[in-house]
Structure 1
Amino acid sequence: MGLQIHFVVDPQGWLCMGLIVFVWLFNTLLIPKIILFPHYEEGHISAVAILCYYIFAVFCVVSLLRASVADPGRLPESPKIPVTERDFWELCNKCNMMRPKRSHHCSRCGHCVRRMDHHCPWINNCVGEDNHWLFLQLCFYTQLLSFYTLLLDFCHCYYLEPLTKVNWDIFVFRHELALIRISTFMGLIMLIGISGLFYTQLIGIFNAGHFKKDLQTFHTMRLLPLVI
C-alpha cells in the first residue's frame, strides 16, 4: 500500500482545514508562551512537560498533513480487473467506470474511492482504503493534544503555583484569562468532537469485521451440503 500524493481542489475543504490549522497554531504558540515556559522557569514543572507537548503537537500536524495529501484509494480510469474478481465489480452510474463493490463515488473529489468511508472536509480529502489508518492516527493524536491542552489550562488556573515573574506589558499576559478561556473552549470542542468521531470509526471497523466473518460463515454453510 503506497502513499501516493492526492490533492483535492475544494475551497470549502481548504477553509475547514485552515480552521484546524488555526486552532493548532493558537494553542501551540499560546500554551508554551503563557503556561509551560513561565512555570518551567520558576521551577513548577519539568522540561518533560514541555517536551511532551511539542511531541503531541508535531505528531498531530504531521498526521493531519499525511491524511490530507494521501491517496484514499482512487480508482484508475482503466482498471485491470482480474478474471477471478469480475463478479465483485460493478459499473458506477456517475462516472461510468468499473469499480469493486464497497467502493463509492465522491461528488466532491469527482471519482470513485475503494472502501470509501466518507469525505472529510476537515482534512479536505476522502477517507478510504489507503488512508483510513492515517485518519485514525489523526483522531488519536488530536485527542491526546486536546486533552493535554485542557489539563495544562486546568493546572495553570487551579493547581500550579501563581507566577511571580510576569511581564504584564506583553499582550498574552495582559489578556491571559481571555486567552486561556478561548484555549479551553477550543480544547473541549476538539476533544468531544474527535472522541465521538474516533469512537464511531472504531465501532464501524469492529462491525465490518464481524460482517466479514459472518459472510464467510454464510458462504461456508452454502458449500457444506455440496461437500457432504
Structure 2
Amino acid sequence: MKLRLHFVVDPMGWLCISVVFGIWLYNTFFVPKLVLLPHYEEGHIPWALVVCYYLASALCVMALFRASTADPGRLPVDPHIPHSEREQWELCNKCNLMRPKRSHHCSRCGHCVRRMDHHCPWINNCVGEDNHWLFLQLCFYTQVLSLFTLVLDFCQYYYFQPLTRLDQEKFTTRHELALLRVSALTGVVMFGGMSSLFYAQMAGVLSDMTTIEKMSQFSSETYGTKRSWQWALAEVCGTRWKLLWLLPLRSRQPLHTGHHYRSHV
C-alpha cells in the first residue's frame, strides 16, 4: 500500500499546525545549539545523547507530518458494500451517503470518517480508523521530546559544567533568560498536555471506545469490550509486530477480527 497524502483545507487548522511545528522547530534548533552541541564539543556529554535527541526530534516531526496528511478513513461517494455486511451500514443524515456503523460525519472536513475519534485542529485532520495509530505516535514522541528538552534545560542550570569557550555572563544574558526559559516553559506545557491526552487516548483504545462515543454516552455493551492491550494496539496499528508500532513511515493494514466488526472500503 502506497503512502497517499490527504490535506484538509482549513485556515484555522493551518494556523494551529504551524504553531505546533514552530514549537518543534524552536526546541530542535535552539536547544542543540545552546546546550547539546556546545557541551558535546567540550566533552561533557557523550555522542549517544546527541543522537538520541535528534532521533526523538525526527520521529516527532515525522509522526506530525504523517498524522496530518494521512487519510483518516474517509468514505468514498459510492462505496462497495458487501452483501453480507449490508446490515452493518447506515445512512448518514448529513451527507445522505451510506456508511458503516461507528462512522461519524465531520462538519469541519465535510465527509464521513470510519470509526472517527475526533477532529484535531492541531494536526488539521480528523483522527479516524486509518490514522489513529499515527496520532498515538505523535502524542508519545512529543512527550519524549518535551521531557528530553526539560531534562537538558535543567542540566544546563544545575548539572552541566560551565562552558569554557563562551563568555558565561554574555551567554546568560543573551540566551538563558530569553531562550532556555521559554524552552522549559513550552516543554512543561507540551509534556503535561500530551501526557493527559495520551492517557485518554490509550484508555479509549483499550476499552474500544472513541472520544465521540464517550461524549455521546454510548452503551459499553454495544461497543466497549474487554481486550488485552497487545491486541488492542495491534488492531489500531494494523500489525502484531510491536516494533512497527513505533515507526511512522509505513502503511497500515487492517487486521481481520472475528469478534469486532470493522468495515473497510
1:47 to partner: Cα distance: 1.1
Q: Identity of aligned pairs, percent?
A: 62
Mark the CA change 1:102 to 1:111 in structure 2 (over 3 Å): closer, same or farther. Answer: same
In structure 2, what is the Cα distance between the partners aligned to 1:111 and 1:118? 13
Match of 2:84 in 1: 84
Mark the CA change 1:58 to 1:50 in structure 2 (over 3 Å): closer, same or farther. Answer: same
2:205 is the alignment partner of 1:211: no
Match of 1:69 in 2: 69
In the alignment, structure 1 segments of 5+ residues that lack a partner are: 218-228
Match of 2:197 in 1: 197
Match of 1:144 in 2: 144
1:81 to partner: Cα distance: 0.9
Indicate the RMSD between aligned Cα atoms, in angstroms. 2.2
Match of 2:165 in 1: 165
In structure 2, what is the Cα distance between the partners aligned to 1:110 and 1:54? 37
Query: What residue identity is the alignment partner of 2:125?
Result: N
Match of 1:12 in 2: 12
Matched residue count: 216
In structure 1, what is the Cα distance between the partners aligned to 2:120 and 2:2? 21
Q: Render the CA deviation track for 1:91-110: whole Å, top value 9, x for unaligned.
A: 11110000000000001100
SS in 2 for 1:211: coil
Query: What residue identity is the alignment partner of 1:77?
Result: V
Larger helix fraction of residues: 1
Give me the TM-score of the superposition, normalised by structure 1: 0.89
Match of 1:33 in 2: 33
In the alignment, structure 2 segments of 5+ residues that lack a partner are: 210-222, 228-257, 260-265
In structure 2, what is the Cα distance between the partners aligned to 1:168 and 1:111? 57
1:42 to partner: Cα distance: 1.6
Q: Render the CA deviation track for 1:108-160: whole Å, top value 9, x for unaligned.
A: 10000000000011110000000001111111111110110001001111111
Q: Could you tell me whether the CA contact under 8 Å between 2:31 and 2:149 is conserved in 1? A: yes
Query: What residue identity is the alignment partner of 1:60?
Result: C
Give me the TM-score of the superposition, normalised by structure 2: 0.77
SS in 2 for 1:175: helix
SS in 2 for 1:112: strand
